[in-house]
């Protein structure tokens, strides 16, 4: 069993999320805790008001919504009654046994799971602490419930359950909620796990799952107002279906939220840069005549996905590496001059790369990568690589020359080796 706890500022949002699933036929409200009557005798207003009235007892608490999901192994066949008993036992063990809560069984995934909606405001107005709730109480409760009910332990569940699959463009239906749910699943598993520092870098990851985030043209209303939409891509990399506003998703992946992640991720991924550079150099050093296609395939086997960007004339002008090992995304020029699109092409023995070569270099079955607006490519790819100084005619750097090249590093002396002036004693 895997427990996921999300806290928030709005009980309405958590409640409406589950009730909308019920309307779509993807969930059922199977039970409640500390309500005066059973769920089959309550209206939507009665369900929600019980939680809101409790939250009003302490208006100083802004984060008063608790949304928990309990996920079970696909091989486990649990009845509604057993799920309700497990939910009651879990809430009791984490200290929410006396709180009002609703139990929803969801049928929108390949494994059985349930959602719990509650508040952390007690009957006397005190607040239940949410800091490290998962580590302090949820983890011990999960392990105890797994033993008591004979459930498959979270550590033993197959990793394949957590692997994402690309969205099938053939299954996309205009305006249908299935499209939104599919994109939501991709975003939840990528936005907080991968480190990316720009929208094109984020699209390099999303493109592998046939999803794209876009701002629209510079003259569009969405772009001018700082908006963002998500779209599904067909096998050719073209957007299809109706774009969905970022604000309509549960976790609110709007542009302002992503921009805050950009600055944080830029610092967080810096320490993984050397590892990626060494991997690329090792592949090129192993085989002197490594072609671009072969380089991409070899890197892909090592968990590094390569995204190539080209102009309308078929000119290669950008390259991005998605390192699934460290979950970091790097633009080629960000790694250094020898890893820019132009330098990589030259190291692979290519002077010009045509459109067909780029298409064949992409991962099979994933479709083409997202195209970027002129505003995005101007800042991330074209400028750094067009200003690269040309090498003298007749000069070709070998792999050995590049490895033996002296790296310019500013003079640095550790603090404890520096000589310090002795302070004069005061007379």
Same domain, yes or no: 248 and 274: no
Same domain, yes or no: 187 and 239: yes
Give me the DSSP letters along 98-126.
Answer: TS-EEEEEE-SSSS-EEEEEEESB-TTS-
Same domain, yes or no: 153 and 231: no
| In a domain? residue 229 | yes
Same domain, yes or no: 111 and 202: no
In angstroms, what CA-CA distances link 328 with 52, 251, 305, 339, 372? 41, 21, 11, 16, 20
Q: Are strands 113-119 and 2-8 parallel, antiparallel or unpaired?
A: unpaired
The domain of 306 spans 270-404
| In a domain? residue 23 | yes
What DSSP character marks residue 281?
H
Give the end of a domain, one of 161, 193, 222.
161
| In a domain? residue 353 | yes
Same domain, yes or no: 206 and 303: no
Same domain, yes or no: 135 and 237: no
Query: Domain holding 120: CATH number?
Result: 3.30.930
| In a domain? residue 242 | yes
Say how many domains are in the chain. Answer: 3
Same domain, yes or no: 134 and 174: no
Same domain, yes or no: 219 and 288: no
Neighbours of 85 (CB within 10 A): 15
pTM of the model: 0.51
Q: How is residue 7 written in tokens?
A: 């806290």
Give the end of a domain, one of 213, 241, 267.
267
Give the end of a domain, one of 243, 267, 291.
267
Q: Going residue by residue through the chain (427 aa), what tens digit of pLDDT does each one get?
A: 889 999 999 999 999 999 999 998 889 999 999 999 999 999 999 999 999 999 999 999 999 999 999 999 878 889 999 999 999 999 999 999 999 999 999 987 667 899 999 999 999 999 999 999 999 999 999 999 999 999 988 876 544 444 555 555 444 444 444 678 788 888 888 888 899 999 999 999 998 888 899 998 888 888 888 999 998 888 888 888 888 899 888 778 999 999 989 988 988 898 898 999 999 988 888 766 668 888 888 898 888 999 888 777 777 888 999 999 889 999 988 898 889 888 888 888 764 444 433 333 333 333 333 334 333 333 333 333 333 334 444 444 555 555 545 444 444 455 555 555 666 677 6
Backbone angles phi, psi at 132, to 5 degrees: 55, 35
Same domain, yes or no: 62 and 109: yes
| In a domain? residue 286 | yes
């Amino acid at each position: 069993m895997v427990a996921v706890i999300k806290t928030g500022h709005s009980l309405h949002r958590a409640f409406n999320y589950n009730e909308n699933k019920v309307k779509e036929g993807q969930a059922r409200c199977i039970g409640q805790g500390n309500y005066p009557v059973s769920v089959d005798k309550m209206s939507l207003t009665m369900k929600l008001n019980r939680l809101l009235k409790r939250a009003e007892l302490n208006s100083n608490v802004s984060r008063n919504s608790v949304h928990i999901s309990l996920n079970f192994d696909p091989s486990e066949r649990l009845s509604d009654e057993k799920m309700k008993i497990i939910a009651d036992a879990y809430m009791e063990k984490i200290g929410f046994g006396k709180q009002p809560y609703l139990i929803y069984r969801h049928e929108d995934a390949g494994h059985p799971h349930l959602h719990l909606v509650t508040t952390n405001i007690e009957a006397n107005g005190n607040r239940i602490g949410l800091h490290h709730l998962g580590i302090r109480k949820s983890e011990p409760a999960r392990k105890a419930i797994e033993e008591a009910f004979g459930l498959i332990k979270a550590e033993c569940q197959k990793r394949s359950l957590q692997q994402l699959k690309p969205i099938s463009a053939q299954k996309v239906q205009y305006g249908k909620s299935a499209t939104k749910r599919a994109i939501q699943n991709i975003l939840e598993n990528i936005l907080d796990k991968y480190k990316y520092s720009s929208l094109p870098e984020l699209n390099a990851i999303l493109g592998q799952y046939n999803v794209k985030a876009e701002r629209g043209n510079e003259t569009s209303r969405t772009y001018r107002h700082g908006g963002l939409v998500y779209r599904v891509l067909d096998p050719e990399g073209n957007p299809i279906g109706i774009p969905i506003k970022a604000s309509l998703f549960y976790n609110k992946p709007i542009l302002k939220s992503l921009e805050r992640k950009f600055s944080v991720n830029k610092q967080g991924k810096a320490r993984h840069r050397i590892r990626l550079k060494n991997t690329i150099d090792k592949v090129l050093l192993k085989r002197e005549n490594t072609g671009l296609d072969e380089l991409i395939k070899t890197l892909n086997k090592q968990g590094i996905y390569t995204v190539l960007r080209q102009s309308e004339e078929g000119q290669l002008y950008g390259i991005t590496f998605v390192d699934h090992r460290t979950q970091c995304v790097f633009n080629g020029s960000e790694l250094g001059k020898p890893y820019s699109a132009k330098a990589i092409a030259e190291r692979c023995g290519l002077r010009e790369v045509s459109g067909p070569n780029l298409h064949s270099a992409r991962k099979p079955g994933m479709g083409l990568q997202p195209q970027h607006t002129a505003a995005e490519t101007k800042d991330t790819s074209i400028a750094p690589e067009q200003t690269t100084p040309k090498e003298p005619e007749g000069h070709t750097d070998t792999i050995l020359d590049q490895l033996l090249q002296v790296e310019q590093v500013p003079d640095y002396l550790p603090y404890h080796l520096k000589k310090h002036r002795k302070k004069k004693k005061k007379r």
